[in-house]
Amino acid sequence: MTTVGFIGLGIMGSPMAAHLVNAGHEVIGFDVVPESLTALTEAGGKAASNVAEAVTGAEVVITMLPNHPHVESVVLGDDGVLQNAKDGILLVDMSTIRPESSLAIAEAAKAKGIRVLDAPVSGGEAGAKNAALSIMVGGDAADFEAAKPLFDVLGKTVVHVGPHGAGQVVKAANQLVVGGTYALVAEAIVLLEASGVDAKTGLDVLAGGLAASRILDLKRESMVARQFQPGFRIDLHHKDMGIALAAARQADVSLPVTGLIAQLVAAARAMGHGSLDHSALLKVTEQLSGRG
């Protein structure tokens, strides 16, 4: 049994923390929105009233926060993890943030004797709820092995992909593929409907052939029905496309399709759809053809 401080109990963090409790770990959670702690306490975990309270007695601290400013303030801030956690603990950041922020956090933590892994996830809300996430982990191999039993509670595909920041680079690659797939499924729906072909029937065929994908499996029905409650918010995917483009610049490579997808996601946000699921890219595609 491990004592886990869990910071950030939103769409993803809430079911993940509950799985850790159900696996027998002691979990003390904190979120700035107190209602977010309900699922954790109902599962048998404890609610803390600030970061310090959540991490003081922890052996492992997990953060699942929106973006790098949140992670930096929770970890590096005056009342944050590094100020309050015991020496030698393991800090596992499962948020999706810029690789360079993961590197900076690992460096700052090292000075305090705290080990760090960047461990972003893929699989969405369904993956979090079903403990079926893909987890891509950057950091030292020994620290990965130490955290593996916890990762195995949360995910099905758990891979050590390289040193600090490597997990975030793999996640950036994941997000450009996911964004591109949504954009093309949206175009398929617009084409089918504008041609008078039933979109659901058409996508059912696609899902059984070479065009098959997890996104077609999980989302084709809700997209055709225009159900866009998140899931994964457009605002967060906009953040992730920024991370992907910055990582491309850092690596000195040109990713033209990623650039286009980033603009489509930015358009969805500019149209006011930031709080909708990323499958709402369909709204942008429809608008481009005057069908919105």
Q: Is 236 in the site for ligand NAD (CB under 6 A)?
A: yes
Q: Is 16 in the site for ligand NAD (CB under 6 A)?
A: no
Q: Is 96 in the site for ligand NAD (CB under 6 A)?
A: yes
152 Cβ partners below 8 Å, 6+ apart? 158
Pairing verdict, β 133-138 and 121-122: antiparallel
Q: Is 66 in the site for ligand NAD (CB under 6 A)?
A: yes
Q: Of the ranges 3-11, 107-115, 196-204, 246-254, which one interacts with ligand NAD (CB under 6 A)?
A: 3-11
Instruction: Give whichever of 21 and 55 is closer to ligand NAD, judged by the CB atom.
Output: 55
Using CB positions, name the residue nearest to ligand NAD.
10
Residue pair 62/7 in contact (Cβ under 8 Å)? The answer is yes
Whether 171 is catalytic is: yes
Of 23, 28, 30, residue with least CA distance to 1: 23
Residue pair 27/46 in contact (Cβ under 8 Å)? The answer is yes
Strand ranges for the chain from DSSP E: 3-7, 26-30, 46-47, 60-63, 90-93, 115-118, 121-122, 133-138, 155-162
Instruction: Give whichever of 192 and 277 is closer to ligand NAD, judged by the CB atom.
Output: 277
Size of the residue set binding ligand NAD (CB under 6 A):
27
Annotated active-site residue in 148, 171, 200, 239: 171
Residue pair 147/167 in contact (Cβ under 8 Å)? The answer is no
Residue 280 DSSP class: G
Residues 4, 5, 6, 12: which binds ligand NAD (CB under 6 A)?
A: 12
Residue window 25-54: x/- pattern of binding to ligand NAD, with contact defined by CB under 6 A? -----xxxx--x------------------
Residue 270 DSSP class: I
Residue 58 burial (10 A CB sphere; 0-12, 13-18, 19+): buried
Residues 109-148 contacting ligand NAD, CB under 6 A: 121-122, 124-125
Minimum distance from CB of 283 to ligand NAD (Å)? 18
Task: Tell me which residues touch ligand NAD (CB under 6 A).
Answer: 7-13, 30-33, 36, 64-66, 70, 73-74, 95-96, 121-122, 124-125, 231-232, 236
